[in-house]
Every structure is written in structure tokens, then in C-alpha cells.
Structure 1
Amino acid sequence: MNEHLDALVDAVGPSHDDCQSAMLDHAVAEGFPTVGADAGGVLRLLARVVGARDVFEFGSGFGYSASWFARGMDAGRVVLTEYDEAELALAREFLDGAYDVAFAFESGDAMATFGRYDGPFDLVLLDHEGARYAPALARVRAKLRPGGVVVADNVAAGPVDTETLVSMLREDDAPDPPTRDASWDVDTTTEGIGAYLDLVRSDPGFETTLLPVGEGLAVSVRVE
């Protein structure tokens, strides 16, 4: 987006609450990336629109994105997953008692953790390793209720090479387009994001659009 439109989005978007302001101070001090208020506002809106009661995050850091989901929920549960136990402990410190939802704090591998939950989930965030987005989708699909939403973060910025990504997804331009096999072995974030986007857009059970907020959110609703 151009700088004027970007400023308008920022001006119209939501403000941080007290908990999130403390989180942002920590993020700035530690140089820790967050989805930002623009993307966070989308997460809050999605939680509100789908009436989310059960949310699962693949990758949670210190709980910033979880706080946005919580702001869009009247009750229910958000499951956070994080390898770094210090970050997870910080998430617990920030979030406990801050919102009217329950939080489950799970350390270790998000894929393994997801297997221990029955679902169905209303809303799922993919924010772990880009190379694992497609395999995660294959698992999420079976536990996402009809009308539920999957959000994939970091699909248009950060380590992603957007020029390569566009070539991968435009099959007429790509000599070797990405396979739609969810187990496809990839080595880079760009390849992983490409495989994920190709998989979800080709699945008749989802409708997908990409929102140019934050570092890019691919939003997919389960329609069957």
C-alpha cells in the first residue's frame, strides 16, 4: 500500500488496550516482531464475526496475537503454542486475568499439540514455520467447523520473496509449479508459503483471500 493509505488504515484501526500496550513495550525493547495493530484488528474482527469460542494458534510468541483474538470473544478458549518456554511464561504473565476467556499455554511442537485436541475449532492461526503451513492445513481441515476460518500470517513480507511467490502461483509463468500435495518437502519459507497458498486455494472446501495488512494475512473460510 502507498504511505497515505497505510496511514489511513492505521488511523482507522484499533488502539491497544493496557495489556497490549505493555506487550508492545516489551516487543520494542526486545526487538520482537508482532502482527501489529492493523493485522491484530483483523484477528479481533474475525473472532467477532465467526462468534469464536475455540481458537488455536500455531506459534504464539509472548501472546500478542492471542490478545487480539481474546478482544473479539465474549467467552471461550484460546490455545497458545510456543517452543520457547520463556516466551510462553511471559504470555501467561501478560494474559492471565486480562480477558474474559480461558487460555491454554502449551509448550513444544504445535503440530503435536494440535493432535491432542479434539476440536472442532472456530478459528486457527498459522504463525509458525512457513515450510510447515501446508502440512498444518491438512490436519486443521479435519478439526475446523464449517464456517470456521484459518488465518496464515507472514505470507507477503519478511523472509518471503514475493516475486518468486507470484511466479510459483501463476502456473502459466512457472516452469515447475508447486504441487498440491500437503506433504511436499520444502526448504525455504517462500516455497512453504507457495505450497500452502496453492493447496488452500485449490481446495473446494475453502474460500481464500489475501489481506495486505501487517506482513500479509491469507484468510480462508471453510465452506464445506
Structure 2
Amino acid sequence: MELLPDETRRFVSALVPDRDDTLREMEAHGEDIGFPTVGPEVGAFLRLSARMVGAERIFEFGSGFGYSAYWFAEALPDDGEIVLTEYDADELDQAREYLTEGGYADRAVFEEGDALETVERHEGPFDVVLVDCHKSGYPDAFDAVREKVAEGGVVIADNAMQSGAQDFATILEILEGSDPESVDDDTRGIADYLQRVRDDPDFETAAIPLGQGIAVSFRK
């Protein structure tokens, strides 16, 4: 399913600012190994979001080899902090190498293991949170970090509309009020997350059809 018509997609891509050599190297690496990064259009939005809220601290649920973190890091002040979380030690080592290459490793904390356990060890507030872990774990990620999001901060969920794991049509049914009998864990995870942030009185949420679809929740 294409989220945007071809001309609109080209328009959005044409507005993405130039990337440095490291980001382009990371994009090529992702393509070579078939790793689904957020892509430059979402990456540029992440960086813009961090700039707009004046982010000083960022937390990622799922960092891979550091592509989204690199975009974020560019928006942080020199004394800012971004916490990367990743199960795969090799990917986390690659993230460290890329952020070192770009000159951003000094503002990065590299955490190997379960992001839910990691976030318990880090005090808030966080100005930006990216949720990009296992889709079934999205609701737990929001619950774990909800009270640690700064007022005026944002939670951004990647793959809000599609990925290789969930069924978009079923998510849409649930959001529109239906209760399908059989729903797989990943689809249920995304649907529950979206319902939760939509209905939370402390957050205001909008969907943006960039990349695989993102949901942006502003802490009021």
C-alpha cells in the first residue's frame, strides 16, 4: 500500500534537506542488508520535531544501527543526550561507529537490551520519545514512558500505518469502532497504542502519512 500518490511522494522527497556523507552511508547500508530504517523523509521530520520543541533529551525504543538517532543528534545541543536502545549488540556497535563518525557520540548513551527495562533506569523528562520497537510492544512502551515525557514534548511512533508485521485494514476497523474476532499481536499492539494516545487527555495526537506512517503525540 502506497501512503502517498507518486507526485506527492516525490514532492516530499524533494524537500528533504541534503544529508551528510555519514547519513548517506547509513542509507546505503540499510538497503544492502534489507534493514527498514525510517527513511530520509521521516528522518528529516524527526530532526525538525526535535528542533521545534528545543529538545535536550531524547529516548528511542528501538534504535537499530542508529539511523533515526543520527537525525535526532544533529538537533541536540552539545550537552544534549539521546538514549539508544537495541537488543542486537552488533547493530548497537554500528550505531556507535556511525555517531562517532558524525561527531555525535558524545551526546549518545548506548544501551544494549530490553528498552522497557532501560527506560526504568533513566529519569525523565524526555523532550522527544521515538517508539520503533516490536509492534506488539508499543502500548507497553507508551505506558513506561508516559510520565517521563516533558510538557511540550512529543512521542513519535513509527510504522503507525504499515510495516511487515501488522494489517492496516484491521487497525482501521478497530480505530473506527469495530472489534474483529481474530487479530494478531502486532496488529493489536499498533491499534491499542493508537487508541491509547488518541484518547489520553494529556496528549494530542495526529497521524502523518510519511514513510510507513507516523503518529505524533504532543504532551499538553
- For normalisation by structure 2, the TM-score amounts to 0.93
Q: Is the 8 A contact 1:71 1:99 kept in 2?
A: no
Structure 2 equivalent of residue 110 of structure 1: 115
Structure 1 equivalent of residue 100 of structure 2: 96
Instruction: Select between 104-113 and 65-74 the one with higher mean Cα deviation.
Output: 65-74
Structure 1 equivalent of residue 89 of structure 2: 85
Aligned-pair identity (%): 46
Shift of 1:97: 5.2
- For normalisation by structure 1, the TM-score amounts to 0.91
Shift of 1:132: 1.0
State the number of aligned residues.
213
Partner amino acid, structure 1, of 2:169: E
Shift of 1:61: 0.2
> In 2, distance between residues paired with 1:98 and 1:218?
28
Q: Does 1:163 find its partner at 2:159?
A: no
> In 2, distance between residues paired with 1:15 and 1:189?
34
Shift of 1:15: 2.5
Partner amino acid, structure 1, of 2:119: F
Deviations 1:31-50 (A, max 9, x none): 11110000001100000000
Task: Could you tell me which runs of 5 or more consecutive residues in structure 1 were left unpaired when the two chains were aligned.
Answer: 178-185
Structure 1 equivalent of residue 216 of structure 2: 219
Structure 1 equivalent of residue 147 of structure 2: 142
Q: How does 1:18-97 map onto structure 2 within 5 Å?
A: 18-75=21-78, 76-96=80-100
> In 2, distance between residues paired with 1:15 and 1:37?
10
Q: Is the 8 A contact 1:14 1:38 kept in 2?
A: no
Aligned residues: CA RMSD: 1.5
Structure 1 equivalent of residue 200 of structure 2: 203
Task: Could you tell me which runs of 5 or more consecutive residues in structure 2 were left unpaired when the two chains were aligned.
Answer: none
> In 2, distance between residues paired with 1:97 and 1:11?
26
> In 2, distance between residues paired with 1:82 and 1:39?
20
Q: Helix, strand or coil for the counterpart of 1:219?
A: strand
Shift of 1:74: 2.6
**Alpha-carbon distance change, 187 to 175 in structure 1, aligned in 2, over 3 angstroms:** closer
Q: Helix, strand or coil for the counterpart of 1:92?
A: helix
